[in-house]
Amino acid sequence: MDTTGPVIRVLSYNVHGLGDDRDALAEVVRTLAPDVVLVQEAPRRFRWRTRCADMAHAFGMLYGAGGEPSLGNVILTNHRVRVHDAWCLRYPLTPGRHMRGAAFAACSVEGVPFVAAVSHLATDGTERPAQGRLLKAAMAGVSEPLVLGCDLNDDPGSETWTALAHGLTDAGDEGGAPTFPAWNAKRRLDAIMVDPRATIRRFSVVDSENVRRASDHLPILCDMSVPVIT
């Protein structure tokens, strides 16, 4: 039996390798006050641990999972969320392409368990479907309610988007606005997908002057009730 549990605020954000206005980026995240941040294009190479810790500190968050092992996908949480376990997934490398992966964290809030996942799929259309299938298979092994934040580098209705969304709720399905590029968004490349047992309370694509200085993607925000499974 499922009952309505605590509400958590989830932010999914491609931070563009921290290559834009970092002060604006930190202000955006702090103002939105998320419980969980699912970050794409976070530090993944030289001194990645220190740089991820610095990013978390700037956001007022704690490092939870990811970084170099997940090829730049990172999960951050606030003090309200406990991280009990973490693991990573790497997609096969196509020679000459950019290696990519995913990060997972088994979490709880107010004693109610859930799993957070984040990934950033290939820009190359021949790689994306296989990466999507690997990510879907990895998520299928999770029994707890799951929330995925993903830069799919693809559009709703595509093979990859449809496959990942199957069995999940696309939080922005009823009115997801474009997320890329931030300064003149025309494509909806970013998604938050949640366990259908969860209740979506709010979804929005965030836009402001600071947001447009902070990254080349607009962040997406979802308030969801984590189900208590008994």
For residue 159, the model assigns a pLDDT of: 94
Tens-digit pLDDT profile for residues 161-189: 999 999 999 999 766 789 999 999 999 99
CA 20 to chain centre: 19
Instruction: Give the residue-averaged pLDDT of 43-52.
Output: 92
Phi-psi region of 34 (alpha: psi -120 to 50; beta: other; left: phi over 0): beta
Give dist(CA 87, CA 95) in Å, integer. 25
Res. 45 pLDDT band, cuts 50 70 90: confident
Q: What is the pTM of this model?
A: 0.96
Query: What is the CB neighbour count within 10 angstroms for residue 30?
Result: 13
Q: Which residues contact 229 (CB under 8 A, 6 or more apart)?
A: 1, 2, 144, 145, 197
Residue 103 to residues 6, 106, 126, 156, 207, Cα–Cα distance (Å) = 23, 10, 22, 22, 26
For residue 96, the model assigns a pLDDT of: 82
- CATH number, domain 2-229, options 3.40.50.2300, 3.30.70.360, 3.90.950.20, 3.60.10.10: 3.60.10.10
Q: Residue 2: pLDDT above 60?
A: no
Q: To the nearest 10°, report the CA torsion of 67, 28, 203, 177.
A: -90
Residue 54 · residue 24 · CB < 8 Å = no
